[in-house]
Amino acid sequence: MSSLARTRTVLVTGAARRLGRDMALALARAGWQVAVHYRGSQQDALETVAACAELSVNSAAFDADFLDEDAVRALVPRVVQHFGRLDAVVNNASLFEHDDVQSFGYAALEAHLRSNTGAPILLAQALHAHLGERAAAEGEPAEQVEPIQGAVVNVLDQKLWNQNPDFLSYTLSKAALEAANTMLALALAPRVRVVGVAPGLTLTSHLLSQERFEQLHAMSPLGRSSSAEDIAAAVCFALENRAMTGTTLLVDGGQHLQRFERDFSMM
């Protein structure tokens, strides 16, 4: 076996930019080879790969649009073809487009469900199948010191515990992913652990000024919501902790404990 094929490998979806890139780099620093998934942000994905290379970590970029089921199904085989193995998936990529009960329609619902629920489930399914094939080919380790076991992190959102009427299709897709978190944990055990990580308001967007973002970020019991480093650290922890499955880490400064009438971006 080559040294490349011996090193544990993680696929981080939506890892070209923003939170996904921070997760990819934190995992690279923890010694994982990183498959950097992107949809449209190719240049940013190549920059994430280059940043991994600066950490002396093998990394490569893989494109896939999660609206396309065939492209999602092809992703894990492409990663395995490149690295020789896959041990974990971080389902971070997410479609986040505004709708509400007035503008709601099947098109928005379907796009969010495909991107944010269907793709994470298919990637978990593919990881489970790959690990099963590896166990069949290599044989289970006799002592079970390092069982052939993998993990999936599903990135959720504190707003599931603190709902408001904005981003209806997005919220439904994340609520379905949270339910899938439990169902997959049961269905894929003991081969694959499944853990949710739910950020609070972490990064700003074009919908918020920096000043407003800072005000909203401070609105939490702890006086600050989550940083990108907090989220990346939670993802690393979830992948390392061999006893966790079927649960979610809320990493949000306690925002889920407070009532917000609107989405942060609409407040």
Ligand X SMILES: NC(=O)c1ccc[n+]([C@@H]2O[C@H](COP(=O)([O-])OP(=O)(O)OC[C@H]3O[C@@H](n4cnc5c(N)ncnc54)[C@H](OP(=O)(O)O)[C@@H]3O)[C@@H](O)[C@H]2O)c1
Q: How many residues bind ligand X (CB under 6 A)?
A: 25
Phi, psi dihedral angles at 252 (to 5 degrees): -150, 15
- x-or-dash pattern for ligand X, window 202-241, by CB under 6 A? xx--------------------------------------
CB of 166 to ligand X, least distance (A): 13
Does residue 248 belong to the site contacting ligand X (CB under 6 A)?
no
Position among 52, 155, 188, 233 found at the interface with ligand X (CB under 6 A): 155
CB of 178 to ligand X, least distance (A): 12
Closest to ligand X by CB, 65 vs 100, is 65
Tell me which stretch binds ligand X (CB under 6 A): 3-11, 39-47, 54-62, 214-222.
Answer: 39-47
Closest to ligand X by CB, 100 vs 147, is 100
Residues in the chain: 267
Position among 16, 25, 208, 235 found at the interface with ligand X (CB under 6 A): 16
CB of 2 to ligand X, least distance (A): 29
Does residue 14 belong to the site contacting ligand X (CB under 6 A)?
yes
* Amino acid letter, 112: H
CB of 49 to ligand X, least distance (A): 13
- In the complex, which residues of this chain contact ligand X (CB under 6 A)? 14, 16-20, 38-41, 65-67, 92-96, 115, 155, 157, 199, 201-203
